[in-house]
Chains A and B, each alone.
Chain A
Amino acid sequence: MRSAKLWSWIALIAGILYFFLPLIGMFEFSLRARRGEYSFDAYANVLGDPAFRATFGYSVLMALFTIAFGILLVVPTVFWVRLKLPRWRPVIEFITLLPLVIPPIVIVFGYIRLYNTSSWLPLTGSAMGTNLLLMFGYTMLALPYMYRAVDTGLRTIDVQTLTEAAQSLGAGWITIIARLILPNVLVAVLSGAFLTFAIVIGEFVLAALLNRPAFGPYMVWMGANKAYEPAALAVIAFVVTWACMALIQLVTRLSKHTRAQQR
């Protein structure tokens, strides 16, 4: 038993060293912009850079649109599959997992070739069209997480009975989904949304290959041209990721709390 304890501590301490040293390193490095002393100059430079604000704002907007579209796409699908096509659930679930199988760079390559200016759907012909294509691409990237979150959320409620009850009261499909299903899976939807946000905000490959002014390509450009600012950007990106995960935990915990109170 003593050796088990020893091994556990060794594994944990090695893990902590490996995972925390880069975080400390990136933070320390980001403070080095002024010669001879620590300062927040790198952060000031980054936050004062109009290109930072433009690209970060673009990515935030993109994330919000992706979340909205993802919810519109996934929630009715999960609901419908549970209600009407339970036998097809494994197939739909398999489709939603495909973005983890096919590398994103391959899919975006397909987009570029399939939706170019001379194709039947020339999405890359205009800035707006490319934005749309990027949003669809991000929705695709987030699909495995969004679908799983909502599917798990819907598992706890009796979709069949609730729907029949709503229908007998005269509710239509849109009412059922918006006022019955959505509130019930709100926590799951929010978890999926925050995860989507974390994925979209720093995404590089899709944005770079579709030539959109997103935060990911901006970070790579800074990495190639500046010394200390990239570390500051990494700290900012880490804080955003951490905030998203913390919000997921928070909504999950809050929902458990309110549910317990209702009982």
Chain B
Amino acid sequence: MTDLPPPSARRRVSLPLNWFGVAPFLLFALLFLFLPTMHIVLGAFRTPAGDFTLANIRGLFTPSIMNAFWISIRISLVTALLGCVAGFLIAAAVTRGPLPKPLRGFALTFSGVASNFAGVPLAFAFIATLGRLGFLTVILRDWFGFNLYGTGFNLISFLGLTLTYLYFQIPLMILIITPALDGLKREWREAAETLGATGAQYWRMVALPVLWPSFLGTFALLFANSFGAVATAMALTGSQLSIVPIILFAQIRGDVLQDPHLGYAIAFGMIVLTGLANLVYIVLRTRAERWVK
């Protein structure tokens, strides 16, 4: 193994040997990534006996499942949009704005923590803050005489879930958009100012068009990110809100014996949606990188 033949001879005899080093990785990817996913995708188009069918996919178009998909899509769209806008504003403020320098490092570190502080603990933090006896609910009631739950607010709702998801969506946007913001060259701003542009005009006519692909791409990524989130929703709502991941979870846990192939179809639907979103992300990111270089 240690003494390699000269390159010309090597090319002829050891082509498979070149792949030897990545074989464990490819085997791992095959067993624990590709085969499980293929199994689900194929299962979505099969009867329990193994014949081809579209009945499972048709099973998705029942009102309850369509409704779950619709809620999930709406939550993902709204949290992706708000996450993008808020994350962009914060990132722009700490990287481009006239704020003290150390804030930038702090914001990025905190974003790293917050984007990983998802799942069950995040749900607990929001219950402790905005639940019926939560910190903020009590403060609003005792100090300002404002009854939050009197307004019809409920944490186990579309709004509550959106507020909670934003806690990991915004930091993710900050982490992704900051390099893009750093890619904006100072000369562009100076050139715009020399030509008499105001700050707002510079952002609208120079910076945003350059950032646009990164923006849309991250939007797609955030969409997929929130669409697949299960733990946060489970811990927050205790399966009271019918969103797709929760329905799939229930299918796998309990009702899977009744109709496993409907579960496959739901899972397939999730793959299609997150896959499409990520495809958009990948295409737009390659376009965005042209400018950042």
List the interface of chain A (C-beta within 8 A of B).
1, 3-5, 7-9, 11-12, 14-15, 18-19, 21-26, 28-30, 73-74, 76-77, 79-81, 83-85, 88, 92, 95, 98-114, 121, 136-137, 139-140, 167, 170-173, 195, 198-199, 202-205, 208-209, 216, 219-220, 223-224, 230-231, 233-234, 237-238, 241-242, 244-245, 248-249
Contact = CB atoms under 8 A, between A and B. Distances in A.
A98 B38 CA distance: 13
A167 B4 CA distance: 9
Q: Which of B32, B40, B43, B278 has the most CB of A within 10 A?
A: B32
Nearest to A32: B133
Interface residues of B, number: 82
Contacts, number: 265
Contacts of A76: 21, 24-25
A121 B38 CA distance: 16
Nearest to A169: B2
Q: Is the interface of A mostly helix, strand, loop or mixed?
A: helix
A98 B134 CA distance: 38
B121 A202 contact: yes
A114 B39 contact: yes
8 contacts: A3-B199, A7-B89, A18-B166, A84-B18, A199-B116, A204-B235, A223-B120, A234-B125
B22 A4 contact: no
B92 interface: yes
Given A4-B199, A11-B89, A109 B33 contact: no
Contact of A8 (B21, B39, B97, B245): B97
A28 B130 CA distance: 12
B235 A223 contact: yes
Interface string B44-60: 00000000000000000
Given A167-B4, A234-B121, A241-B113, A205 B249 contact: yes
Contact of B24 (A1, A77, A104, A234): A77
B224 to A, nearest CB: 7
